[in-house]
Amino acid sequence: MSKKIFYTPGPSGLYPGLEKHLQKALEEHIPSISHRSNHFRGIYQDTFETLKSLFNIPQGFAVLFTGSATEIWERIIMSCVEEHSFHLVNGSFSQKFHETAQQLRKNAHKIEVPMGEGFELNTLEVFYKSELIALTHNETSTGVSMPTEDIHRLKEMNPNKLLAVDMVSSAPYPQLDFNKIDMAFFSVQKGFGLPAGLGVWIVHERCLAKSEKLSNAGFITGTYHRLSTLWNFFEKFQTPETPNVLGIYLLQKVAADMLKKGIKQIRKETDEKAKMLYEFLEQEEGFDIFVKNPAHRSSTVIIANTGFQSSKLIQKLSEKGFEIGSGYGENKDRQIRIANFPGTSQAEMEKLLDAMKKLRGSI
């Protein structure tokens, strides 16, 4: 099979060096070790410490593993909400988080803005009884991102509510101040460039306290993956079930590679590549940046309306070895989505834009 480069915002390209780590994992028999062994505990602890450094996570937080970020939506609502949750909805994924709360029969309140728009904090009123505010830092479906300052201010405005940040398609890019949020989560197949099948939940002990309060009051908070059970196992650097051991091992390796490169450098490069992409889309005929407000434009998932059937361009690019994403849902054939994750180099991005420029003319 020919060489391909993935610029897709779903599962994406593998992080540079991943195949080497995978080879090493096989040599070390990582898929065969017991999840109750000291070997595994060491891997979990290393992963915890590495992510702590990468995200600058202060004391009081645990790092927990699930099968997906979708699972974390469910675990958050079950473990941390008795009656009222509040959701900032501006796309398909924030909407699904809201639906998760509804399916669990919570009073799931929401503020909703049209696709492609972000939130204005000055007019944003959170329902006073809400126990949890759920927001999506980066809406994969619309390419709208919430400035981290706004996230922090939202917590300052609502100090007694738990704040959950979905950073599925932006981690590790956003410079979150973990002193000003209660939890954040992501899955590994996007910014970290790993095979899918692992969700990562960074969660403060305030959330654990809430979960235990609910359990003690007789609420169903879940079983093997309720927050209190996950946390008890985390204290021994274990997991309730046999987890995705290989995925956790690889996450540690990639996070360590990122640390070595420097998170500042990764953010800088991400900004530079994003600037290049947006400038291209602005200048190039046939493309139109979807998110109008520059302050709300994502740096990691860049979306353009196309003045032509986007599937034609996507197909032509694919034939040349460039894989980009289609629009999401009903925008499938009139938008393109390009992931700007840390694993994609400046040179690879330039190659993509060259190809887009060339192929655009032949549609």
Task: Provide the binding-site residues for a copy of itself, judged by CB under 8 A.
Answer: 1, 4, 6, 8, 10-14, 19, 22, 26-36, 66-71, 73-74, 96, 99-100, 103-105, 187, 189, 194-198, 220, 222-226, 240-247, 323, 325
Residue 137 or 155 having the CB closest to a copy of itself = 137
Closest separation between CB of residue 125 and a copy of itself, Å?
27
Closest separation between CB of residue 186 and a copy of itself, Å?
12
Closest separation between CB of residue 193 and a copy of itself, Å?
9
DSSP 51: H
Closest separation between CB of residue 28 and a copy of itself, Å?
6
Asked, as a colleague might, if the bond just before 172 is cis with ω within 30 of 0, I would say: yes
Residue 76 or 146 having the CB closest to a copy of itself = 76
Question: Which residue type is seen at 84?
Answer: H
Residue 98 or 297 having the CB closest to a copy of itself = 98
Q: Is 224 helix (H, G, I), strand (E, B) or coil?
A: coil
Closest separation between CB of residue 105 and a copy of itself, Å?
6
Closest separation between CB of residue 160 and a copy of itself, Å?
26
Bridge partners (DSSP) listed for residue 339: 301
- Taking a C-beta distance cutoff of 8 angstroms, is the pair 83, 114 a contact? no
Burial label, 125 (beta-carbon count in 10 A; 0-12, 13-18, 19+):
exposed
Residue 28 or 279 having the CB closest to a copy of itself = 28
Contact residues for 60 (Cβ-Cβ < 8 A; gap 6+): 204, 205, 206
Distance, in Å, from the CA atom of 56 to the CA atom of 261, rounded to the nearest integer, reads 15
DSSP 171: T
Residue 65 or 278 having the CB closest to a copy of itself = 65
- Taking a C-beta distance cutoff of 8 angstroms, is the pair 166, 93 a contact? yes
Residue 71 or 288 having the CB closest to a copy of itself = 71
